[in-house]
Amino acid sequence: MTVPTGRGFALLAAGGAAYVAARVLGTWELYLLAVCLIVAPLIAWLLVAVTARSLRGRREIGPGQPIAGDPVKVAIHVKNRSVLPGSQLLVTDFAGVMSAGTGLEIDSLRSLEERLVVAPPLVAHRGVHRLPAPLARAEDPLGLACARLRFGEPATLTVAPRLVHLSSCALFPGMSARRDRGPHGLSVPGSSDLRSVRPHRPGEPLSRIHWKATARTGTLMLREMDEPAGSDVTLLLDVPASLAAGTAPDTNVELAVGAAGSIADFALRAGRTVTMLLPQDEWRRSRLNPGVEGRALLLESLARVAPHKTTRLGSSLRALLGHDGRRPGRSHAIVLVVLALDRELEYVLLRLRDEGLQVSVVHVDAAAFGSGAATSDTEHLVAALEAAGVRTLGLRRGDDLGAALSYGPALRQQGGPTYASAR
């Protein structure tokens, strides 16, 4: 819809005043001035109404799947399909909250002209961003009339967290991510460990022939493989909104998401299947298998993580871990990434440890992000968990995530995280 601007209304008001004065004084000059002041906004309104309907535009965003911290480039492609000169444009909402308070100014387009305007690079923040269709404000050169129109369609931009590539992890001292890697350094689904080599029997498939042993012995030799590990890592991320602290993107929630994702990525590259428990309106469970698809699902799931309403994790932890009625085996590893520790959660973790399960906790210190002071109660809880054999790791604001997660006992003596145990 085309309407006069504030300047256009002011000219119309001045034209009306000049007309009244002309009627009172009876001078033709004032009549002429009144007509000019009134006609100018009307012509501007007509020009904008005609040319705005002939403007077409679309938005281009790159890269299509950015990682948090990457620069995002947004371009607006505009075309004037009219033979008349196009209006001047101010495009806003071209990248949702990332472009808040900014706009792209586009000079008047000539007859049938097309133009591509690129916005300054924007920094991508983790999350799923709903981007409305870009809003354009079209004005005549004098700014007397304007029209608002939308270019293109709404879009969704998913920004994945930036994960740390770990070659070792303090929470899994006996696990290595360097074996069974396929393209792009990811574990090959279904990959197995070589157990032995034996002579080939008639009728057996040739896909597992050990060619080096065959060349050495002159007889077809077959590889015997151990079966790959099953679903042996469960990782739970708990980020209550009441404990969120810091200013985006430097928050304890983002640090927790990065830590959880890096640990899960390490386990996937080690050939382990990972079950992710992520907060939403209800706990969302995702099963990730080693390989490219598993990592893609991991990034997509973590991009959707947002602080949730506070729940009592300790009372619901057993139900979450045993949702299918099966008790985790002793080789099953359980990792919790939390923003706070309490007595109830400590009690449940100690009971799980007593049952022989491998339990680890990563605690992101909210006090380091300005949310109150660190309490001695947390230190006592950590000491009790460590004494019971629960691996613990503390993360603070400014920590090098890669160094903290892969921290070894030998290096820990030289300084590092506030607390860590690699029992």
């444009």: which residue's tokens?
89
Domain extent for 37: 2-51
Same-domain pairing of 214 and 353: no
Same-domain pairing of 9 and 147: no
Split into its structural domains, the chain has a count of 4
Number of H helices, E strands in the chain: 10, 21
pLDDT the model gives residue 281: 64
Same-domain pairing of 35 and 72: no
Same-domain pairing of 26 and 14: yes
Q: 327 φ, ψ to 5°?
A: -85, 130
Whether residue 423 is contained in a domain is answered as: no
Same-domain pairing of 137 and 200: no
Same-domain pairing of 269 and 377: yes
For 102-112, b where at least 16 C-beta lie within 10 A, e where not — what string? ebbebebbeee
Same-domain pairing of 92 and 136: yes
Picking from 116, 141, 159, the residue at the C-terminal end of a domain is: 159
Same-domain pairing of 248 and 209: no
Whether residue 103 is contained in a domain is answered as: yes
Same-domain pairing of 15 and 61: no
Same-domain pairing of 93 and 133: yes
Cα–Cα nearest to 85, from 161, 2, 36, 141: 141
Picking from 16, 32, 51, the residue at the C-terminal end of a domain is: 51
Same-domain pairing of 73 and 103: yes
Q: At 297, which CATH number?
A: 3.40.50.410
Same-domain pairing of 9 and 60: no
Picking from 171, 206, 225, the residue at the C-terminal end of a domain is: 225
Whether residue 21 is contained in a domain is answered as: yes
Whether residue 420 is contained in a domain is answered as: no
Whether residue 181 is contained in a domain is answered as: no
Whether residue 172 is contained in a domain is answered as: no
Q: At 115, which CATH number?
A: 2.60.40.10
pLDDT the model gives residue 322: 66
Whether residue 166 is contained in a domain is answered as: no
Rounded to two decimals, what is the model's pTM?
A: 0.75
The series of mean pLDDT values per 10 residues for the chain, 423 residues long, is 91 94 88 93 92 91 88 91 88 80 86 90 89 91 92 90 91 67 40 64 70 84 57 86 87 94 94 87 84 91 88 76 55 87 88 86 84 68 87 90 72 41 42
Whether residue 141 is contained in a domain is answered as: yes
